[in-house]
Every structure is written in structure tokens, then in C-alpha cells.
Amino acid sequence: MSKKLDAFLEENLTELKEQGLYNEIDPVEGPNGAIIKIGGKDLINLSSNNYLGLATDEDLKKVAIQAIEKYGVGAGAVRTINGTLDLHVQLEEKLAEFKGTEAAISFQSGFNCNMAAISAVMDKNDAILSDQLNHASIIDGCRLSKAKIIAFKHSDMEDLRQKAKEATESGLYNKVMVITDGVFSMDGDIAKLPEIVEIAKEFDLITYVDDAHGSGVTGKGKGTVKHFGLEKEVDMQMGTLSKAVGVVGGYVAGKKQLIDWLRVRSRPFLFSTAVTPGDVAATTAAVQKIIDSTELHDKLWDNGDYLKKGLKELGFDIGDSATPITPCIIGDEKLTQQFSKRLFEEGVYAKSIVFPTVPRGTGRVRNMPTAAHTKEMLDEAIEIYAKVGKELNVIK
């Protein structure tokens, strides 16, 4: 073993722990539902992105089992050789219907979807205007493209417009893209898509919206682009199939010509084995459920409003979330981790979120009520928050 590596790891792991930035991983013993079991202890789960509760849906479990019985457990190859099953085609047709576009392409995860799509369209001769709070997968996708990355202040349309003007008028770039999350997952705010689209039209920017936390949540479940009625105005709609949809994977929806290009130039599509049959079948069924009914969407929002009201009345700083995502912003990283630990001890699982996921000094506990929670569960969680908050002097 390398002594240099040992020294590097020892020094840096110790530093992370001293700063309250080391993340402990807790294995979940069973399904990731409204109540989870960790270390034999039942906990109210407020850390899941399983927004609609579909990850444990009985109908989807049956569909997955049936697909495994028919197709097996794996796709057997990459999509471009013989790993494209008729199930993948059906899913992509359903995703295009879901997002209101001509076509769609699916990937193995939301993270490698951003790595794939951004780098397939943009290159070293281009520039990307990226919101400062964009997800890590967007940042890595931009880096992989080798395009010039120009960050604009979070949801600051004046700054975006100025930087778009400078980039397009410089003559340095063949293409310029503006890229943003639809819903920002750590604060719960929604991108100003109408203003972004107007700026894009003015300067002929490619528009890319990562709606990982919006699909199934905003726009009556259809997503943030649909929320603003901009399906015909946004070039690339990206999303995950692992959050509100409840399974695994990612996708890009847009014009047929764009999807044709991604099929021949996006590297994870070309070089990584296709998503398994059970997952694809369950995903298609989940998307159909979201298309057919807003019942789960409506319950999600009702629970989100209920938890927000309860925590705000206690005096917690829940930021400016415009979605069910409910952060309790504490600030100090060590105190944030201590707060999360005490919640765990009292019966609530709500993970601390600290740097590098959020900027230093903005540590928070991110709460995600889902459609699967009952009001009784949320009442109990609010009572525990009150107890721990007063104990640690986070609230009075």
C-alpha cells in the first residue's frame, strides 16, 4: 500500500470529522417508506426523495416481478448493441408523452444523464451559463464537455442577462447554453423559467432544465416546464426516474432530432449496459400513474404545507421554499450534525446537509414529507423538532 495515500486519507478524514463535515451512512433495514428501520429502530423518515411513495408501491412491485419473469434480471448489453428491449422503447414513448415533447431518451441514472447529454451537445468551442446552485451532476457534465463555464448568481436574471450578452457578443463561442435546475433540491425554490426563456430567445441560447426534483412534484406532476407552460420553448428537459417516479434512471426529452443525436453521441448510452427490465417496466407504470391522476401529487403538497406550517410556527428558519422540500437552516456544521443525531435518537430520521452539498455556514436538516406520510406521523415529528430545537437552543 502507498504510504502517500495512507497519509493523505488519514489527514483529510480527520479534518472532515473535526469540522463536522464527515457523513455517516446508515443502512436502511427494509423498504424506504414513510417509516424506516435503522439499527432495529423505527423512525419517521423525512430524508427520502421518494416524493410520491412509489418506491414501495404494490402495483409497481408486481409489474417489476412480471418483467423479470419474462425478460430476466438484466438487459444483457449496451443500448446500441442488443440491450434495447421493447420495454425501453415503451418507456421512452411514455416519457415523451409525460413531458409533452417529440421524443425522449433514457439513461441509467440522473447523474450520468447530465454527464451524457451536456457533453454530447457542448464542446470546447462553446460556453455554458450555469446557475451557481446547480446540482453537482450538472457541474460535472459541464466540466466533461470542456465548454467555458460561466456561473451566474442564483436566480439573478439581471446577472444572467448581462453574462449572456457578454458571451454571445464576444464572438468566442459557437454555441451558448443556459442550464438550471427546475427545483433546487436544498432550498426548495423554483427556477425563474419564464425570464430565463425570454433571455434565451433574445440571445439565441440553448435552454436546458434539470427537473430531477420537479417531475412528479410541480406542474400537477408534469414538472416545472409544464408548470410554466413552456414545453415548446425549452430545448432539453432532463429528469430522474428515482425520485418522484420511485425507481431508477434518468432521461432527456426534446425534439426528435436532439434525441437522435444523443442516441449516437452520449457516452453512457453507448458504453454502459442498459437499465434492467424490472426497473424499466416499473418506471413506465409509475409514469403512467402520474399521468393518470394527481392524487399522490395533491397529498404530497398537502403534507408539505402541513409540515412547513408546523416548523415555521415553532420558529425554525425554513428558508424560502416554494415546494414541499422543507429545510431547517441551522448554519453551523457541527450543530447541524448534532441536531440531526438528536432527532434520530428521538425517532425522526432527517439527515444533516453540510458543505460541500451546500455552502459553508449554511448547514441544514433537509425535510422531505411525502405522499406516504400521515398527519399523525408529521405531528409526532413536529413535537420531536420542538423538543430538540429548544434543547439545542436552535429555537426559543
Active site residues: 185, 213, 243
Question: 11 Cβ partners below 8 Å, 6+ apart?
Answer: none
CB distance 196 to 207 below 8 Å: yes
CB distance 238 to 224 below 8 Å: no
CB distance 385 to 316 below 8 Å: yes
Could you write out the three-class secondary structure of the chain? Answer: CCHHHHHHHHHHHHHHHHCCCCCCCCCCCCCCCCEEEECCEEEEECCCCCCCCHHHCHHHHHHHHHHHHHHCCCCCCEHHHHHCCHHHHHHHHHHHHHHCCCEEEEECCHHHHHHHHHHHHCCCCCEEEEECCCCHHHHHHHHHHCCEEEEECCCCHHHHHHHHHHHHHCCCCCCEEEEEECECCCCCCECCHHHHHHHHHHHCCEEEEECCCCCCCCHHHCCHHHHCCCCCCCCEEEEECCCCCCCCCEEEEECHHHHHHHHHHCHHHHHCECCCHHHHHHHHHHHHHHHHCCHHHHHHHHHHHHHHHHHHHHCCCCCCCCCCCEEEEEECHHHHHHHHHHHHHHCEECCEECCCCCCCCCEEEEECCCCCCCHHHHHHHHHHHHHHHHHCCCCC
Q: Name the residue type at position 216.
A: G
Strand 176-181 vs strand 127-131: parallel, antiparallel, or unpaired? Answer: parallel
CA distances from 171 to 127, 168, 174, 200 (A): 11, 6, 8, 17
Backbone angles phi, psi at 236, to 5 degrees: -135, 115
Query: Whole-angstrom distance between the N-terminal and C-terminal Cα of the chain?
Result: 52
